[in-house]
Amino acid sequence: MAITQRHFMLTDSQLTKKTLNIMGYGSAIVTFNTLLRTAGTYTIGIDDSPTTITVLEPAKFIIQSFQVTPSGCGAFNHKSHSHDKKNVGDIAGNYMARLYVQGTAVANKIINIASNSNTTVTFDYTITQRGNYSIWIENSTRLNVNVLQPATFKISNFTVTPRSGSEPLNVTVTVNIIPVILRGNTLPSSR
């Protein structure tokens, strides 16, 4: 019976050793386990047989910018929300972007982002009620959006002159368009 001792090494520091009893020309399978929790390059070996293992940083996402266009407009108008997201990890990963309006998630998208690259995620969302809204995506800065009631106009003094004539006929159309001021809205100042 032969007795042998094998050493499991991790980055030049002895971690574990096991003693085996092997009879004659017998053999044994020995398993050593370790959990490498930090990204980096490690040298792992049994006795004098080292090998290199690289542990990659998992996908890690950061928001680089966030914008809402337009920032104020009439209700029922289209709003586009976009942000630039960067994966600063060593491997690609899926990122779920959630759009929040007034604290409620109203839309989401899953985007795969390659390592060390960025992408723009855009949401198209329509706000149907007037008011001030706080909008954000995940941990981004919250942006305020002021939604106004749709503009209403009154048309008066509609004239067309001349009403008949020989061709070619040059026609002039005149109309007076007056904005109707709704409660909570103001007319833009004239310059």
Q: What is the mean pLDDT of residues 6-13?
A: 57
> What is the domain-level CATH number for residue 88?
2.60.40.10
Q: What is the mean pLDDT of residues 126-150?
A: 82
Give residue 191's pLDDT.
Answer: 41
Give residue 74's pLDDT.
Answer: 46
Distance CA 165, CA 4 (A): 116
Query: Both 28 and 80 in a single domain?
Result: no
Confidence of residue 146 (pLDDT cuts 50, 70, 90): confident
Answer yes or no: is 177 within a domain: no
How many percent of the chain have pLDDT more than 90?
4
* Mean pLDDT of the chain, nearest integer: 76
Answer yes or no: is 88 within a domain: yes
Query: Both 73 and 122 in a single domain?
Result: yes
Query: Both 23 and 50 in a single domain?
Result: yes
Q: What is the mean pLDDT of residues 142-161?
A: 82
pLDDT at residue 96 greater than cutoff 60: yes
pLDDT at residue 159 greater than cutoff 70: yes
| pLDDT tens digit sequence for 12-40 | 555 566 666 666 676 777 777 778 888 88
Give residue 80's pLDDT.
Answer: 61
Query: Both 126 and 106 in a single domain?
Result: yes
pLDDT at residue 125 greater than cutoff 90: no
Instruction: Give the number of domains in the chain.
Output: 2
Q: What is the mean pLDDT of residues 100-105?
A: 92
Contact 32, 54 (CB under 8 A): no
Give residue 13's pLDDT.
Answer: 54
pLDDT at residue 104 greater than cutoff 90: yes
Q: Which two tokens stand for residue 12?
A: 């030049």
Q: Which residue has better confidence, 52 or 19?
A: 52
The pTM score is 0.55
Query: Both 68 and 144 in a single domain?
Result: yes
Q: What is the C-alpha radius of gyration for the chain, rounded to an integer number of angstroms?
A: 35
| pLDDT tens digit sequence for 111-121 | 898 888 888 88
From residue 167, alpha-carbon distances to 32, 160, 162, 180, 183 in Å are 99, 16, 12, 39, 48
Domain that holds residue 106: 61-148
